[in-house]
Amino acid sequence: MKVLKNEKHQGYSPVLSQISDNQIHGDYKESFFIGIEGSNDTPFCRANIWPNPDVLSGWQATMEKYHQEALRVCKAIARVLALALNVDGDYFDTPEMLGNPLTFMRLLHYEGMSDPSKGIYGCGPHSDFGMMTLLGTDSVMGLQICKDRDVKPRKWEYILSIKGAYIVNIGDLLERWSNGIFKSTLHRVLGNGQDRYSVSLLAKPIRVYLHKFFRHVHFSVRLL
Ligand SMILES: O=C(O)CCC(=O)C(=O)O
Ligand SMILES: [Fe+2]
């Protein structure tokens, strides 16, 4: 396939090609991964791979527009999160944070019937590594979260999709930046035999300086 992924996983990845921790089988999902164009100088991205415009006319422009708009939403949410941490609203806008962002967008299609007891998942349990992930889903149930990963056996709850609304996942980076005030949520997707589609956009800075911000937020949080 001409749009098959590059070495940075941009482009198309078929079913069973992605695997999370502790999984026996790969995920029962196929995905199309779009990075930020022009970020070839980062270790994470190359030029995006696009389907032939003669086959999907206007698709690239639509995806790029969506990418841009979703990043705008991330930045608006970051302002609210900053205020909740009792720091300035533009706290996350610096170049080291979302001012110089790296966003990964994935178009996802799940299929098949999951069976966690056999390690068969639409998407295996994981937390997102970035600052936050915006998730737009269709109305097919499948996404589950585990509020406390240390409680055994783990308790999983379905997340309802609300038409016209995003699901916002806190990522590992924001948990660290906020000194654990915002928790990165463990989540997974179970297939129920129906096709399920979602679009996820993960936002993080191009480079991450954990210690600096860890210390900085620590002082702010003590003021709460
Ligand atoms: O499709 C979903 O509902 C979840 C996707 C997801 O967890 C991810 O892209 O990191
Ligand atoms: Fe995720």
Residue among 198, 202, 204 to mutate when testing ligand 1 (max atoms within 8 A of CB): 198
User: Strand 101-110 vs strand 123-126: parallel, antiparallel, or unpaired?
Assistant: unpaired
pTM of the model: 0.87
* CA separation for the pair 71, 130 (Å, rounded): 13
Q: Whose CA is nearest to atom 1 of ligand 1?
A: 198
**Tokens matching residue 28:** 């029962």
Q: Decide: 190 in ligand 1 pocket, CB within 6 A.
A: no
39 lines ligand 1 (CB under 6 A): no
Distances (CA, A) of 211 to 38, 88, 173, 176: 28, 19, 11, 9
The answer, yes or no, to whether residue 3 has pLDDT greater than 70, is no
Q: What is the whole-number distance in angstroms between the Cα of residue 212 and the centre of ligand 1?
A: 29
The whole-number pLDDT of residue 209 equals: 54
3-state secondary structure the chain: CCCECCCCCCEEECCCCCCCCCCCCCCCEEEEEECCCCCCCCCCCCCCCCCCCCCCCCHHHHHHHHHHHHHHHHHHHHHHHHHHCCCCCCHHHCCCCCCCEEEEEEEEEECCECEHHHCECCEEEECCCCCEEEEEECCCCCEEEECCCCCCCCCCEECCCCCCCCEEEECHHHHHHCCCCCCCCEEEECCECCCEEEEEEEEEECCCCHHHHHHHHHHHHHCC
CB of 123 shorter than 6 A to ligand 1 = yes
CB 23 within 8 A of CB 124: yes
Q: What is the mean pLDDT of the chain?
A: 85
User: What's the pLDDT tens digit per position in 166-207?
Assistant: 999 999 999 988 989 999 999 999 999 999 999 999 998 877
Could you tell me how far CA 223 lies from the centroid of its own chain?
Answer: 30
**Res 220 pLDDT > 50:** no
Closest CA relative to residue 19, chosen from 103, 108, 111, 119: 119
pLDDT value for 212: 47
Protein residue whose Cα sits closest to atom 3 of ligand 1: 143
The residues spanned by each domain of the chain are: 11-15+23-37+56-204
pLDDT at 11: 81
Ligand 1 probe mutation, 105, 108, 190, most atoms within 8 A of CB: 108
CB of 171 closer than 8 Å to CB of 101: no
| Residue 29 CA, closest ligand 1 atom number | 1
- Does residue 134 carry a pLDDT above 80? yes
Q: How confident is the model over 98-127, as a mean pLDDT?
A: 91
Which class is 11-15+23-37+56-204 in CATH?
Answer: mainly beta
